[in-house]
Amino acid sequence: EAGVVQSPRYKIIEKKQPVAFWCNPISGHNTLYWYRQNLGQGPELLIRYENEEAVDDSQLPKDRFSAERLKGVDSTLKIQPAELGDSAVYLCASNPGTSGRPSTDTQYFGPGTRLTVL
């Protein structure tokens, strides 16, 4: 079984440029998460989807960040414009359950996209 796939693995951009990250969760996983991991810190949730609905986006900086999961499968996270402080690793994770259909509670993580903003 394929794991969570993310691309690109690395991205270097100049500040004020846009950037997008893509995530394909494990097949059949209904819940998808985007986390941001700053250097020397643990991951922090940005947004959580159940199928195509964003059920928790309270930590997403909505002035510059946006996300979508149009068909309830893969997802895209976008930053426009990027700032120096956005340099981090962006992790995608998935879980087979939803709040209405509990599962194992185990989240499966992709390898992440390391963003460097110059």
Q: How far is the CB of 16 from other proteins (least distance, A)?
A: 27
Binding other proteins (rule: CB under 8 A), the pick from 24, 110, 115, 117 is 110
Span of 18-26, 67-75, 77-85, 88-96 interacting with other proteins by CB under 8 A: 88-96
Distance in angstroms (rounded) separating the CA atoms of residues 117 and 75: 22
Distance in angstroms (rounded) separating the CA atoms of residues 65 and 117: 15
Distance in angstroms (rounded) separating the CA atoms of residues 84 and 52: 30
Span of 15-23, 38-46, 62-70, 74-82 interacting with other proteins by CB under 8 A: 38-46
Span of 13-21, 42-50, 63-71, 76-84 interacting with other proteins by CB under 8 A: 42-50
Burial group, residue 33, by CB count within 10 angstroms (0-12, 13-18, 19+): buried
Q: DSSP per residue over 68-95, as a string?
A: E-TTSS-EEEEESS--GGG-EEEEEEEE
81 binds other proteins (CB under 8 A): no
Residues engaged in binding other proteins (CB under 8 A): 4, 31, 33, 35, 40-45, 48, 50, 55-56, 91, 93, 95, 97-103, 105-112, 114
